[in-house]
Chain A
Amino acid sequence: RKEVEQDPGPFNVPEGATVAFNCTYSNSASQSFFWYRQDCRKEPKLLMSVYSSGNEDGRFTAQLNRASQYISLLIRDSKLSDSATYLCVVNPNTGNQFYFGTGTSLTVIP
């Protein structure tokens, strides 16, 4: 079983829509969770960390469900500039490694 699994999409949504991505992880002892954004042919960049209590940054909300071992990312009022691949990242608390999901592709359509 993969450490981190994501639905690759693609998700094609109209401007202004709300879209949600989920990501599941296999190691119940994992402690650190992140969402990264990657634009085409560019490096991943941190979008937001995911805390146990959940966190919000403008139009973006991240949540963690330890019981079901998944994290989610909600994007409200989608903009054209949100079009990218969103990577779920988990640090399983062993060896300070990072495990990446395959990414979920989002295209926001005018």
Chain B
Amino acid sequence: DGGITQSPKYLFRKEGQNVTLSCEQNLNHDAMYWYRQDPGQGLRLIYYSQIVNDFQKGDIAEGYSVSREKKESFPLTVTSAQKNPTAFYLCASNQGVMNTEAFFGQGTRLTVV
């Protein structure tokens, strides 16, 4: 079945540690996105990539990094520079053309203690 997979579903890390969240899709989509969701704030764009080996900062990129070495994969690293990393992280993909919807992974709930 085609889809977008995030792992792990739950992640706990100590403060000051970097952590990488996985996102893989087999939909052959060109564009991939990372969002962060906090209670009452909706989804905020962290990074997005329109094509392999290229990505752009979203609205809240500080303290995060990404790579897009393969079309299928768009991992997100939450670095120690991110001041408030505890959140629900959602990865999405779409065909990269207008009027096409985004498909989401199941999300990773990151808790930093």
Contacts and interface: CB of A to CB of B under 8 A. Distances in A.
A98 B33 contact: yes
Given A95-B56, A96-B50, A97-B48, A46 B101 contact: yes
Interface of A: 8, 31-32, 34, 41-46, 49, 87, 89, 91, 93, 95-103
A54 B106 CA distance: 29
Interface of B: 31, 33, 35, 40-45, 48, 50, 56, 58, 88, 90, 92, 94, 96-107, 109
Given A44-B90, A95-B56, A96-B31, A87 B43 contact: yes
A31 B98 CA distance: 8
A9 to B, nearest CB: 11
B98 A34 contact: no
Contacts of B109: 41
Contacts of A93: 98
Contacts of A95: 48, 50, 56
Nearest to A105: B40
B42 A101 contact: yes
Given A41-B109, A96-B94, A97-B58, 14 more contacts: A31-B98, A42-B106, A44-B43, A44-B90, A44-B104, A89-B102, A91-B98, A93-B98, A95-B56, A97-B45, A98-B102, A100-B35, A100-B43, A102-B41
A90 B54 CA distance: 23
Contacts of A44: 43, 90, 104
Contacts of A45: 104
Nearest to B96: A96
Contact of A42 (B43, B45, B107): B107
Contacts of B88: 41
Contacts of A101: 42
